[in-house]
């Protein structure tokens, strides 16, 4: 498996260092990419989205995990089951579900009589949080289970 992936990665690296126009070997492709318009803005947008997704996921994950582990809230088993279901489903199912629910002609928009736009930062944030939340809940629950209950 290492050979299979290693050969592919070395091939990609080799081709990235070859300049198609002049046939020379070097970092000219990378320099051209760094000077391309929009690259730095896309990198900044990705960084902001990643940080906000992490913060929101951690906050929601802690609240749910704490509720499941340390409180007497009703329907703990159902909530635990429901939050772990997305781990078993492919990410395509989550994406299509969000579009069907919150898309321009989605169920929520039709019921509320508004036209929602999830094709931007907020839609990506919702999708990323929903994708990462089950794993965060599982990890935080295990951490709370192993921690000293006097500190909780």
* The pLDDT of residue 142: 92
Please, which residues have CB within 8 angstroms of residue 86's CB and are 6 or more apart in sequence? 94, 130, 131, 133, 134
* The pLDDT of residue 29: 81
Read off the pLDDT band of 150 (50, 70, 90).
low
| pTM to 2 decimal places | 0.77
- Helix then strand then coil, in percent of the chain rounded to 5, is 75, 0, 20
Query: Which pLDDT tens digit goes with each residue over 120-140?
Result: 999 999 999 999 999 999 999
Query: Which pLDDT tens digit goes with each residue over 37-52?
Result: 899 999 999 999 999 9
* DSSP bridge partners of 33: none
pLDDT at 151 over 70: no
* The pLDDT of residue 9: 92
State the Cα–Cα distance between residues 105 and 111, nearest whole angstrom: 10
Closest alpha carbon to 64 in 135, 121, 150, 148: 135
State the Cα–Cα distance between residues 136 and 141, nearest whole angstrom: 8
DSSP 8-state code for residue 25:
B
Q: Which backbone phi and psi does 22 adopt, to 5 degrees?
A: -100, -15
Read off the pLDDT band of 149 (50, 70, 90).
low
């Amino acid at each position: 498996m290492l050979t299979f992936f290693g050969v592919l990665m070395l091939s990609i690296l080799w081709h990235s260092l070859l300049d198609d126009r002049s046939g020379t070997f070097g970092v000219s492709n990378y320099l051209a990419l760094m000077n391309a318009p929009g690259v730095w803005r896309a990198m900044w947008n990705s960084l902001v989205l990643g940080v906000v997704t992490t913060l929101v996921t951690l906050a929601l994950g802690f609240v749910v995990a704490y509720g499941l582990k340390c409180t007497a809230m009703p329907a703990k088993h159902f909530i635990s089951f429901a939050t772990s279901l997305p781990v078993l489903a492919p990410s395509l199912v989550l994406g299509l579900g969000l579009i069907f629910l919150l898309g321009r002609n989605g169920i929520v928009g039709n019921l509320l009589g508004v036209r929602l736009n999830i094709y931007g930062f907020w839609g990506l944030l919702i999708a990323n949080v929903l994708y990462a939340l089950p794993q965060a809940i599982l990890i935080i629950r295990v951490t709370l289970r192993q921690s000293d209950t006097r500190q909780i």
